[in-house]
Amino acid sequence: MGSSGMGIDANGKPIKRQAPANNNNNKKGGNNQKRGNNNQNKNNNNNRNNQGGNQNRNQQRPPHQQQPPMMPMVPPFGPMGPGGPGFMGGPPAPNAGFFNGGGPQQNRRSGGGGKNNGNRNGAPPSGYNGPSANNVGQGAVGNGLSGMQAFSGAEPSAMEVPGFGKNSNIHELFGKMIWRKMEQIQDSALMKLWILILLNLLVAESVVRTSYGNWSLEKLGDRNSPSFLIDEPNRQFLLDGLPFRYISGSIHYFRIPRERWDERLQKVRALGFNAIQYYIPWNTHELEEGIHDFSGILDFAEFSSLAYHKYNLWTILRIGPYICGEWENGGLPAWLLTKNVTKQRSSDPVFTREVEKWFETLLPRVKPLLRKNGGPVLMLQIENEYGSYDACDKQYLRFLRDLTRAHVGDDVLLFTTDGSAENLLKCGTVEGVFPTIDFGPTDNTKEIQSNFDLQRKFAPNAPLVNSEYYPGWLVLWGQKRQDLPSPQTIINGAQFIYSLGASINFYMIHGGTNFGFWNGAEVEAPCITSYDYDAPISEAGDVTTKYLEIRKWVKGLKDWSTPPQDVPGNSPKARFGKIKMRLAHSTEKLNSFIDKEFSDPGDCVDSEKPMSFEALKHPLGLVAYQAVGYRF
């Protein structure tokens, strides 16, 4: 390409060299050409000398630090292309840093990291935000030549690369790379082509969009900036650019008295867990339409902040709008039933309009907590086990996906959770959202492997995740306690899940209490007030045998980076002795009770037919119905 009389423009079309405008310019050009030839000869000698010296030094380096031989006229995506050892060519070798720079023991200005960089060796300086989808794209590439220095045969100063901060080492590195190439190329058309190629490579390698919709700086940036994303080639999570997986526990802020949050979270951390998971129940935060409450026991932002800042626990957030969770109406407000909704949890326009209003209130409160903003929230679940619902409305799932992204951005990981059956995953998943599964407890390794094989079918290039592994179970009214597997079965199953490289969430690690009338219901019966769930941390906050066995298992994980801490003591208990009950009233005396207690106007509602709670705008509690004035 260097010896051809034709250049190539940015569109790949040949460019004819143009004759100089006059004889004076010809002479000048000839002189410049002679000087250029002299410089070229001089540079060629220097290059040969340097290349020999570098090669000798290269052989003395450890294998992972040896540099490839110089290939001055080979484009970056030639033999040194993706997966190779050259510029922008695949992942760095062990201890290699930014742009395959040196390891921690080397302090190269153009790629190596200092002694303080550790695993993030060679990353850009702190405060670096990296290019975004908005400021690095075709426009930046197309206009990239305007800010470049003209090649003069001398080593230039650092050049500013679009999308990177002025203090980044990449400017000096980029300038040197251009100089080393341009000193060997005198044709201006080829110079422009080289710069265009390099800029395109920079953008292509910097900004990567994964199958799950989160934009990331996989090769250049996120090692030094808060982020949580999926590394698809390696089927793993990356937290701030480093490999990550979690052992988490479900614990619901709205089922725990606020003054007990600290104690419960401390016991989760003492297990050796590194994350918590919880739902946000819409109906609890908006009991009455248009009136929102995020105070006291409902201050989920404070709950996650406490978990993160005091106990280093990350948050996996499940935003709904439907949450299930054995909660009243699955978290959907009762007042929705007064709307003309043909089917809830569907693309019905009346329903989606109300969801839009709720997310407009909720998600601005979630956004500051996201990891990309320096917060503890790693990813967001939309809906909940939607495949188990009979709607199978993909338009609805796309609506939730797009609505959530409109508020939090494209660089936040969204996920779904469904049971481990193919028909459930078919209806519960949607493109651009990471699908996870739930199952257990079981120590049947073939069953566990089969479940994850199914997840792989829907997410072939993603990490394995069990979002709900059940160490206990709920109890309905009239039931005795559940017949649950032994702690050893739970541990054996968790160990095999861990051995597969999966992340796991224990649902529940602490259940708590269904205060008031918030207990949900199954088809056959309502849930009881207690949500103890036979969880490792009891409803009262006590450590159980199951807790100690799980902690022992985590402690024995040799490669786990969050070892258990000392177990806090249980809270003190009191004996109340015998309590004498007295009769308040009975159903036989209900008529007189109503007449006495509800005699003021407005306390009673007259109607020809019995009215529902929703029609009475009475979301929770009791309603006494009385027929008056009729004779049969």
Is residue 25 very low, low, confident or very high in pLDDT (cuts 50, 70, 90)? very low
Is residue 58 very low, low, confident or very high in pLDDT (cuts 50, 70, 90)? very low
Strands (DSSP E) found in 321-456: 377-382, 413-419, 434-438
Q: What is the pTM of this model?
A: 0.68
Angle between helices 261-270 and 300-311 (to 10 degrees): 40
Q: Which two tokens stand for residue 402?
A: 């797009």
DSSP letters spanning 276-321: EEEE--HHHH-SBTTB---SGGG-HHHHHHHHHHHH--EEEEEEES
Backbone φ and ψ of 265, nearest 5°: -65, -35
Q: Is the pLDDT of residue 154 over 90?
A: no
pLDDT of 212: 74
Catalytic residue among 155, 468, 524, 597: 468
Q: Which two tokens stand for residue 390?
A: 């009979």
Q: Which whole number is the average pLDDT over 335-354?
A: 97
pLDDT of 182: 56
Q: Which whole number is the average pLDDT over 372-400?
A: 98
In this predicted model, which residue has the larger pLDDT, 545 or 154?
545
All structural domains of the chain, each given as residue ranges with its CATH number in brackets, are 65-123 (no CATH), 223-555 (3.20.20.80), 583-632 (no CATH)
Give the lowest-confidence range in 114-123, 321-330, 447-456: 114-123
Question: Which of 108-117, 159-168, 445-454 has the highest mean predicted lDDT (pLDDT)?
Answer: 445-454
**Cα–Cα distance, 487 to 439 (Å, whole number):** 16
Residue 124 preceded by cis peptide, ω within 30: no
In this predicted model, which residue has the larger pLDDT, 200 or 475?
475
pLDDT of 81: 33
- Give the 3-state secondary structure of residue 241: coil
Q: Which whole number is the average pLDDT over 181-197?
A: 66
Active site residue 468: yes
pLDDT of 243: 97
Q: Which whole number is the average pLDDT over 325-343?
A: 97
pLDDT of 379: 99
Residue 345 in contact with residue 389, Cβ under 8 Å?
yes
Is residue 198 very low, low, confident or very high in pLDDT (cuts 50, 70, 90)? confident
- Give the 3-state secondary structure of residue 44: helix
Is residue 541 very low, low, confident or very high in pLDDT (cuts 50, 70, 90)? very high
Catalytic residue among 385, 524, 539, 597: 385
- Summarize pLDDT for 467-517 with one digit per residue, the tens: 999 999 999 999 987 789 999 999 999 999 999 999 999 999 999 999 999
- CA-nearest of 45, 31, 78, 73 to 190 is 73
pLDDT above 90 coverage of the chain, percent: 56
Q: Which whole number is the average pLDDT over 115-138?
A: 35
Active site residue 385: yes
Q: Which whole number is the average pLDDT over 356-377?
A: 99
